[in-house]
Amino acid sequence: MKDQVIEILENLTGSDEVGKDLDVNLFESGLLDSMGTVQLLLELQSQCGIDVPVSEFERSEWDTPNKIIAKVENMQ
């Protein structure tokens, strides 16, 4: 699961930075924006089968790869 999330993030951000530093702040570093966030939610839905409504997405809870992985593992 962890690798899958990292792969999704690498594809979305078009950089391998996410794989190297799992605590990088995705929004502050400019790797992810609102657009990327929506794509992330759609990918999580189609690849991992977890459903996150847009209003569930609280930026501060999803701003690093580690936090996203934890969220996904929690929701499965």
Partner 1 sequence: MPNMQPYQNPTYFLILGVALLPIMIGMLFGKKLHWYQTLISFAFLLLTFGGPKWEQGIALICYIVFEVCLIGIYHAYRQKKNATWIFYLAVILAIIPLVIVKITPALEHGRASFIGFLGISYLTFKVVQIIMEIRDGIIKEFKPWLVLQFLLFFPTISSGPIDRYRRFVKDYNKSVVREKYLELLDKGVWYIFLGFLYKFILAYYFGSRLEPVVSRLAVSHGGISWWLVAYMYVYSMDLFFDFAGYSLFAVGVSYIMGIETPMNFNRPFKAHNIKDFWNRWHMTLSFWFRDYIYMRLVFFIMKNKLIKSRITIANVGYFTLFLIMGFWHGLTWYYIVYGLFHACAIILCDAWLRFKKKHQAHIPSNKFTEALAIFVTFNTVCFSFLIFSGFLNVLFFHGTN
Least distance from C-beta 50 to partner 1, angstroms? 14
Closer residue to partner 1, CB minimum distance, 2 or 25: 25
Least distance from C-beta 66 to partner 1, angstroms? 23
Q: CA Rg, the chain, in Å?
A: 11
Query: Taking a C-beta distance cutoff of 8 angstroms, is the pair 62, 71 a contact?
Result: yes
Binding site for partner 1 (CB under 8 A): 14, 30, 33-35, 37-39, 41-42, 53-57
Burial 27-37 (b: 16+ CB within 10 A, else e): beeebbeeebb
Closer residue to partner 1, CB minimum distance, 2 or 17: 17
